[in-house]
Structure 1
């Protein structure tokens, strides 16, 4: 049986606004990664960057179903991530993020589950704050050290 990591959040914006926030890097950089090589499109590979952490991720976009689903493969080891968008009302969207197809076992799997669950929860929290209140909360940038004047000035 495969381990599925899931986190979710209601965002009080229309489904097209919430969906677009995850495919358009000009918006996504306000709450998740700092830089991107491009817009998410099915069949495309993009790079996401977090300069403070000296980290990047190659993201393979497997499937896009407008206002419903973004499916990517990323990470080390490579895992699949589904971003599922459910219209609740004209101004409410329920977003689920599912991370699965992880080959890890034992303590490595436990560590991955903790990191992935915490990371995607932080992303959804930051997205909610940004989309509902137009506040760039920098939750991802502030999650881990180093907390130096130099790194915080760049974040």
Structure 2
């Protein structure tokens, strides 16, 4: 099964970019609206997107500051998402990879037909791209785009 992958260069040092993704005081400015706490080794954290009435519980499986962390969605039973922070002279390349699709109706991370898998992967890739662009705007320019909030205004609750 294919994986989702999105990446972008953020023109800031790796430690600061890594912190922006693990510290909800920063992350809530570009991604989800509420968090039960920061990401840390072995942490279980609940994220909320209040505008959509959606929540997810993520379990941190690996944590190597400031290079990468890996979590699983769905309270630990869902898909695996790796965040990599690669230093470059110009800043940090952030790469998000979501994996673990089986296409099985029993998969807690996904179920459906081949077309459903393609639709999910396209949507997830677009979602992570939106998150990365919003993080870039905030970290490089101090601008809160509201891009995640405004991506699907017809789905606001």
TM-score (norm 1): 0.89
Name the residue aligned to 2:135.
127
Deviations 1:94-152 (A, max 9, x none): 1111010112251221121011101000000000000000011100000002388xx6x
SS of aligned partner of 1:6: strand
Name the residue aligned to 2:87.
87
Deviations 1:18-67 (A, max 9, x none): 00000100000010000000000121110000111000011111111011
Name the residue aligned to 2:116.
108
Contact 1:78 1:102 in 2 (8 A): no
Contact 2:52 2:155 in 1 (8 A): no
CA gap 1:147/1:53 in 2 versus in 1, 3 angstroms: closer
- Structure 2 unpaired stretches of 5+: 104-112
SS of aligned partner of 1:113: helix
Say whether 1:99 aligns with 2:98: yes
Contact 2:60 2:71 in 1 (8 A): yes
Contact 2:72 2:78 in 1 (8 A): yes
Say whether 1:60 aligns with 2:68: no
- Aligned CA-pair RMSD: 1.7
Q: d(CA) in 1 for partners of 2:44 and 2:155?
A: 31
Q: d(CA) in 1 for partners of 2:74 and 2:154?
A: 22
Contact 1:47 1:59 in 2 (8 A): yes
CA gap 1:147/1:97 in 2 versus in 1, 3 angstroms: closer
- Structure 1 unpaired stretches of 5+: none
Give runs of ≥4 in structure 1 deviating > 4 Å.
none
Name the residue aligned to 2:4.
5
Number of residue pairs aligned between Structure 1 and Structure 2: 147
